[in-house]
Amino acid sequence: MIGKNGFIEWCEVHGNFYGTSKQQITDIMASKRIPLLDIDVQGAIKFEKAFPDSNFMVVVPPSVESLRQRLLGRGTETEKTLETRLGNARGELNQVFSMRSTFCYRVINEDLTLARRTFNLLISGLYQFELTGKKPAEIANGKACCTLF
């Protein structure tokens, strides 16, 4: 599909190729659903060029050291892959925090319950019209919309 330009974005990450199919996104949007993607920073930057009105939410660890501990706890990384992943994470975190106009929404995953709640509130606030099927006036009832707590 790469050679046939079938992806909106594609990247090599940690030695593997990942991408987002143009056809899948077109099909999702045509069915009036909201595409929710799990893509890395490189992919998000490319995706934004194709869909500049997209919202990008990033779930980040509280620190690189906490990420190291989580990865070590899984027991799935070699020393080499651990260092590669941590190096990539440092670079991506720098991009996320320096590109605030792209990555407007950041969820710090220190406490899973709080991170999940924050994520759900962001989705509800950003897409309340799409999720409820109601028109803005029906939700707002004369009050400000999309307030997040």
Average pLDDT, the chain: 85
Residue 137 confidence (pLDDT): 54
Q: What is the pLDDT of residues 81-135, one digit of tens each?
A: 999 999 999 999 999 999 998 999 999 999 999 999 999 999 988 888 877 777 6
- Torsion-angle region of residue 32: left (phi > 0), alpha (psi -120 to 50) or beta? left
Q: Which of 95, 112, 5 is nearest to 50 (CA)?
A: 5
Burial tier of 88 (Cβ tally within 10 Å: 0-12, 13-18, 19+): middle
Q: Which residue type does 105 have?
A: Y
Residue 15, burial from CB neighbour count under 10 angstroms (0-12, 13-18, 19+): exposed
Q: Are 82 and 35 in contact (CB under 8 A)?
A: no
- Under 8 Å CB-to-CB from 25, ≥6 apart: which residues? 8, 35, 51
Q: How far apart are CA 106 and CA 57, in angstroms?
A: 6
pLDDT at residue 66 greater than cutoff 80: yes
How many angstroms separate the Cα of 124 from the Cα of each of 34, 114, 140?
Answer: 12, 15, 14
Give the pLDDT band (50/70/90) at residue 5.
confident
